[in-house]
């Protein structure tokens, strides 16, 4: 823990060094798009250099070129001031560029040590004891706790990432590239990763941190380069970054990212008071033991036009609650009333027919079928319904027309309605889900982490859709791990902790404190 405390001090003392890696005038084209256009970026040792940009801004292509997966069409890459060709990932590693990708590249069925031994010469027995000692040593130096004998499958996503960072360092990386490293992490793990980055740069490592989250960029970055549509549109150097307040920095970055100042929207509580109608959804004493986290004694009611937020740290039964409400998990006891009539025993399809919609957070895992066309994915929950099927026979014309309507109304960016949905970006897949769940006669909508993993622009449109759903008189249950999102949208906020609701507070000026108290009260038990 000592290392952690010293990290900021060490940082202040370390002057930014010479560029370890530099991209100079790099351009990369793909058929039909310019992914990077004349980008010049310098990466210095002892600095966390944040590459910030929306999905499709060209961040991943830059990573691809630095890690040897892709070659620039124009411009050059310099390492230690010398022009280099990074022809392969192996070569990138040899030059000291280590990349940690968003999705784990470890073999889950092997131990940490064996994962490190992979890639060694095949004719030699791996020196497991030596590797394990090296892991412990490096981990201690960074203030991490890693068990070399642990199976990778037993580690959390955050721990796996730490292991990957360790591996990159033990292979001699001087420049560490973290590609969307926080996207899959819980908020708590993301903070831990931020602290780890600070400790890495304190030891003179250069870190490239790719993200689309503003707050992370400002919290952990020394230098921020903003990419937009393949171009670098601005850079904020360490002095400017430290010299300004957080809100000034946010304003400046948003101006760079979108070309406008979005001051109005960054202020919290844009939520306007709606006229609330009758109670639509009532849950009483709901229990369920079927899921991973047991849900206990949940009671709440939501009125027409109201947004009930459910706050809490991820994995405290929110997902299970959503699934019990939607009918995907069997209810143990308690009642679920929609418009006054019991539907606790109804099937998923019946609940949907009666006006309950569920926007899942697992968009590719259960929300869509990646290999099916966009048009088909709009209809996954209405298979056989008139007018898309008549007498069980598909009517392609109707299906196409509806798909075109959805694509237009929800501004879905897709090459066509027959494109497999898996080829779309995360934001557009979410729009497909929203189009499916928000059209037709819905009474109540459950959103599970609706903006999780989306970029700023898509977050904004998704939130707008949620607000519109409530405005049109639907009862909305909004499950989110992002407190600011709840404070922006919800009328009342419930706090969920270990499968129970700890309390419900109105969204007024001291809601944040009240929620904080409820969360910590749960910890005392």
What is the binding site for another protein (CB under 8 A)? 30-31, 70, 326-328, 347-352, 358, 360, 362, 365-372, 376, 380-381, 383-384, 389, 392-394
Pick 70 or 462: Cβ nearer another protein: 70
Pick 390 or 464: Cβ nearer another protein: 390
Q: Please state whether 96 falls in left (phi above 0), alpha (psi between -120 and 50) or beta.
A: left
7-16 contacts at long range (C-beta below 8 A, 24 or more positions apart): 7/195, 7/198, 7/199, 7/202, 8/198, 10/202, 11/46, 11/198, 11/201, 11/202, 11/222, 14/46, 14/201, 14/202, 14/204, 15/46, 16/44, 16/45, 16/46, 16/47, 16/222, 16/238
Query: What is the DSSP code string of 300-349?
Result: EEEETT-EEEEE--TTSSHHHHHHHHHTSS---EEEEEETTEE-TT--HH
Pick 173 or 328: Cβ nearer another protein: 328
Pick 213 or 381: Cβ nearer another protein: 381
Q: How far is the CB of 319 from another protein (least distance, A)?
A: 12
Pick 89 or 204: Cβ nearer another protein: 89
Q: How far is the CB of 392 from another protein (least distance, A)?
A: 5
> Phi then psi for 376, rounded to 5 degrees?
-70, -40
Q: How far is the CB of 196 from another protein (least distance, A)?
A: 33
Q: How far is the CB of 210 from another protein (least distance, A)?
A: 21
Contact (Cβ atoms closer than 8 angstroms) between residue 187 and residue 158? no
Pick 18 or 383: Cβ nearer another protein: 383
Orientation angle between helical segments 128-141 and 157-170, nearest 10 degrees? 110
Q: How far is the CB of 398 from another protein (least distance, A)?
A: 13
Pick 229 or 348: Cβ nearer another protein: 348
- Look at residues 201, 224, 212, 248 and name the one whose alpha carbon lies nearest to residue 3: 201
In the structure, how many helices (H) and strands (E) does the chain have? 19, 22
Pick 133 or 364: Cβ nearer another protein: 364
Pick 18 or 33: Cβ nearer another protein: 33
Q: How far is the CB of 61 from another protein (least distance, A)?
A: 11
Per the DSSP assignment, residues forming a β-bridge with 232 are 227
246 vs 236: CA distance, rounded Å: 13
Per the DSSP assignment, residues forming a β-bridge with 224 are 50, 236
Q: How far is the CB of 163 from another protein (least distance, A)?
A: 28
Q: How far is the CB of 27 from another protein (least distance, A)?
A: 14
Q: How far is the CB of 25 from another protein (least distance, A)?
A: 20
- Please, what sign has the CA dihedral across residues 474, 479, 483, 484? negative
Pick 46 or 230: Cβ nearer another protein: 230
Pick 9 or 30: Cβ nearer another protein: 30
Q: How far is the CB of 401 from another protein (least distance, A)?
A: 18
Q: How far is the CB of 376 from another protein (least distance, A)?
A: 8
Contact (Cβ atoms closer than 8 angstroms) between residue 431 and residue 412? yes
- What distances in angstroms separate CA 521 from CA 126, 296, 516, one per listed residue? 50, 17, 8
CA 275, distance to chain mean position in Å, is: 33
Per the DSSP assignment, residues forming a β-bridge with 228 are 231
Pick 181 or 442: Cβ nearer another protein: 442
- Please, what sign has the CA dihedral across residues 27, 28, 30, 35? negative
Contact (Cβ atoms closer than 8 angstroms) between residue 460 and residue 257? no
Q: How far is the CB of 148 from another protein (least distance, A)?
A: 34
240 vs 280: CA distance, rounded Å: 51
- Look at residues 236, 275, 310 and name the one whose alpha carbon lies nearest to residue 503: 310
CA 347, distance to chain mean position in Å, is: 31
């Amino acid at each position: 823990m000592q290392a952690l405390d010293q990290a900021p001090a060490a940082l202040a003392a370390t002057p930014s060094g010479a560029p370890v890696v530099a991209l100079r005038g790099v351009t990369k084209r793909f058929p039909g798009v310019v992914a990077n256009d004349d980008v010049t970026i310098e990466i210095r040792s002892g600095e966390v250099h944040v590459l910030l940009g929306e999905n499709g801004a060209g961040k991943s292509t830059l990573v691809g070129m630095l890690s040897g997966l892709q070659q620039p069409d124009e411009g050059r890459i310099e390492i230690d001031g010398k022009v280099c060709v990074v022809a392969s990932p192996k070569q990138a590693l040899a030059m000291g560029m280590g990349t940690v990708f968003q999705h784990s590249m470890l073999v889950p069925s092997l131990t940490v040590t064996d994962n490190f031994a992979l890639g060694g010469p095949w004719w030699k027995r791996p020196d497991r004891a030596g590797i394990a000692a090296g892991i412990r040593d490096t981990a201690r130096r960074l203030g991490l706790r890693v068990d070399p004998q642990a199976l990778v499958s037993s580690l959390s996503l955050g721990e796996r990432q730490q292991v990957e960072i360790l591996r990159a360092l033990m292979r001699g990386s001087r420049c560490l590239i973290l590609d969307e490293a926080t996207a899959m992490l819980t908020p708590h793990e993301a903070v831990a990763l931020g602290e780890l980055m600070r400790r890495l740069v304190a030891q003179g490592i250069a870190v490239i941190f790719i993200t689309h989250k503003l707050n992370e960029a400002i919290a952990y970055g020394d230098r921020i380069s903003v990419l937009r549509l393949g171009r670098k549109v601005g850079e904020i150097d360490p002095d400017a970054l430290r010299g300004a307040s957080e809100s000034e920095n946010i304003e400046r970055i948003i101006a760079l990212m979108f070309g406008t100042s979005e001051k109005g929207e960054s202020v919290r509580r844009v939520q306007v008071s709606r006229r609330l109608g009758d109670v639509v959804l009532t849950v009483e004493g709901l229990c369920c033991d079927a899921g991973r986290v047991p849900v206990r004694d949940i009671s709440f009611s939501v009125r027409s036009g109201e947004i009930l937020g459910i706050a809490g740290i991820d994995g405290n039964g929110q997902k299970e609650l959503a699934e019990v409400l939607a009918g995907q998990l069997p209810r143990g006891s308690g009642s679920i009333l929609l418009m006054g009539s019991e539907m606790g025993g109804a099937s998923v399809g019946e609940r949907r027919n009666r006006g309950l919609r569920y926007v899942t957070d697992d968009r590719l895992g259960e929300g869509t079928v990646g290999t099916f066309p966009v048009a088909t994915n709009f209809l996954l929950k209405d298979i056989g319904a008139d007018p898309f099927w008549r007498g069980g026979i598909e009517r392609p014309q109707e299906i196409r027309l509806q798909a075109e309507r959805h694509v237009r109304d929800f501004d879905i960016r897709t090459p066509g309605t027959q494109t497999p949905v898996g080829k779309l970006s995360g934001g557009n897949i979410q729009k497909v889900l929203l189009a499916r769940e928000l059209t037709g006669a819905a009474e109540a909508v459950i959103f599970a982490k609706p903006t999780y993993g989306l970029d700023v622009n898509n977050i904004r449109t998704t939130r707008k859709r949620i607000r519109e759903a409530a405005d049109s008189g639907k009862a909305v249950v909004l499950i989110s791990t992002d407190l600011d999102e709840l404070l922006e949208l919800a009328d009342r906020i419930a706090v969920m902790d270990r499968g129970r609701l700890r309390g419900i507070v109105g969204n007024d000026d001291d809601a944040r404190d009240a929620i904080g108290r409820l969360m910590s009260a749960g910890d005392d038990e």
